[in-house]
């Protein structure tokens, strides 16, 4: 893999980049099985997590990943920083770069912010989710989880269900899966599923279409109420119309399909309680693989901060 400073989108990666990061995700996961869970790969390097949006899973996953590679992790808490006093992103980054950070892991509600930061600094910038644009580390852990379950991604059919319009996960995960030879379809309430002519991805609006398509994996998304200032659909319809109900779970079980979800899960909305204990529910695998994928990503990026001392 050629030296790469940042991870902003899956689109920006070569096939070799994708393959390399996925392959070493497996090696990183092996580290977990040892009694000493830490390797010195990033010893002496400093990692900053800069989350402008609330996050528990992604942030702690990145922090655990960085710790297991022996990096020093600093957490920048936006709510108590000068950002709330109106400081621009550029000025925040200048301040942080004066502290000689090697890796910046950033999440922001605006699409495109991580790219702006990446252009502006020498640290390796990892996009941990920007608006509805991209969430590449999620894409890697999803691809790895499917590969782990089925041996390979190519040829598999994955239907992503829910609020596609607001979902960076849908964009990044569909991109990596298609790059790896899988087929992807979208399903959800009409106003939340972009037209196929824009996405190049088949668009369904009910479960019958989904089952007819014969998917291998049902990938559920959270309904992002916080991004909907005006409702897009009658909320009380969602579970019956688009969720995995107990009846649909039985059909999913009969067909031996897998269920995935990037979390956090809204039980009773996109998924029923029973589905969380379903034998092919891969949600916990995703969480575990997230740490390995993020270790692999950190390991493969090359900050340009070496000569910046």
Partner 1 sequence: MTNTYITNATWALTGQKLDLRMGQSGDEPTTIYLDDIPLQGVNGVTDAGEMKIPEGARVIDATGKLLMPALFDLHAKIEIAGCSKRESIYRTGQAALQGGVWGMLVMPTPGFCFDNASTLDSFADAVTQRSAATMIPAGCITEGMQGTQQTPYNTLAARGVSILSDAEHVTDNILMLHRAMKYAAELGLTFAIRGDVPALTHNTYMHPGSTSYKLGLHGTPACAEEIGIETLIRLAQDAGAKLHIQTVSTAEGVAIIRRAKQKGMPGLTAEVALHHLLYTHENVGDYDTTFKTLPPLREQSDCEALLAGVKDGTIDCIVTDHTPCIPFAKKQDFVSAPQGMVALDTYLPAIYTHLIKPGKLTWAEVIKACCVSPAEIATPYDQEEGTPVVAPLLLFDPEVEFCVTESTMNCGTLNTPLLGTTLQGGVTMPLC
The binding site for partner 1 (CB under 8 A) comprises: 11, 88-90, 108, 110-113, 115-116, 130-134, 168, 171, 194, 197-200, 229
- Least distance between partner 1 and beta carbon 125 (Å): 13
CA angle 288, 214, 234 (to 5 degrees): 75
CB atoms within 10 A of CB 235: 13
For partner 1, the closer of residues 165 and 281 by Cβ is 165
CB atoms within 10 A of CB 263: 18
For partner 1, the closer of residues 202 and 280 by Cβ is 202
Residue 169 — φ and ψ, nearest 5°? -65, -45
Residue 105 — φ and ψ, nearest 5°? -105, 115
For partner 1, the closer of residues 13 and 42 by Cβ is 13
For partner 1, the closer of residues 38 and 109 by Cβ is 109
- Least distance between partner 1 and beta carbon 119 (Å): 8
- Least distance between partner 1 and beta carbon 228 (Å): 11
- Least distance between partner 1 and beta carbon 108 (Å): 8
DSSP 4: B
For partner 1, the closer of residues 45 and 108 by Cβ is 108
- Least distance between partner 1 and beta carbon 29 (Å): 30
Residue 122 vs residues 198, 220, 301, 302: alpha-carbon distances, Å: 34, 36, 12, 10
Name the nearest CA neighbour of 47 among 27, 25, 69: 69
| Helix (H) / strand (E) containing 129 | strand 124-130
R_g over Cα of the chain: 19
* C-alpha 115, offset from chain centre: 17
Structure tokens given for 62? 């990145």
For partner 1, the closer of residues 129 and 263 by Cβ is 129
- Least distance between partner 1 and beta carbon 144 (Å): 23
């Amino acid at each position: 893999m050629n030296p790469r400073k940042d991870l902003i989108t899956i689109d920006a990666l070569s096939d070799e980049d994708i393959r390399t990061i996925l392959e070493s995700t497996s090696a990183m996961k092996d580290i977990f099985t040892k009694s000493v869970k830490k390797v010195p790969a990033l010893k002496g390097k400093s990692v900053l997590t800069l989350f402008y949006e609330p996050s528990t899973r992604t942030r702690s996953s990145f922090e655990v990943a960085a710790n297991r590679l022996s990096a020093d992790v600093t957490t920048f808490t936006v709510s108590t920083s000068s950002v709330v006093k109106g400081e621009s992103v550029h000025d925040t980054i200048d301040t942080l770069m004066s502290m000689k950070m090697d890796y910046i892991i950033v999440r922001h509600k605006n699409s495109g912010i991580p790219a702006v930061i990446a252009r502006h600094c020498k640290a390796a910038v990892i996009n941990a989710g920007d608006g509805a644009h991209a969430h590449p580390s999620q894409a890697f852990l999803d691809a790895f989880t499917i590969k782990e379950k089925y041996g390979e991604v190519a040829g598999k059919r994955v239907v992503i269900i829910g609020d596609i319009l607001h979902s960076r996960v849908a964009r990044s995960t569909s991109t990596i899966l298609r790059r790896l030879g899988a087929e992807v379809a979208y399903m959800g309430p009409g106003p939340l599923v972009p037209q196929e002519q824009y996405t190049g991805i088949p668009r369904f609006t009910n479960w019958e279409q989904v089952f007819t398509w014969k998917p291998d994996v049902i990938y559920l998304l959270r309904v992002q109420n916080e991004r909907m200032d005006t409702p897009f659909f009658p909320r009380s319809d969602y579970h019956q119309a688009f969720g995995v109900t107990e009846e649909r779970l039985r059909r999913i079980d009969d067909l031996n399909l897998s269920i995935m979800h990037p979390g956090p899960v809204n039980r009773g909305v996109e998924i029923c309680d029973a589905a969380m204990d379903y034998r092919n529910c891969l949600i916990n695998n995703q969480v575990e693989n997230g740490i390995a994928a993020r270790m692999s990503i950190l390991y493969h990026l090359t900050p340009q901060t070496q000569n910046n001392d």
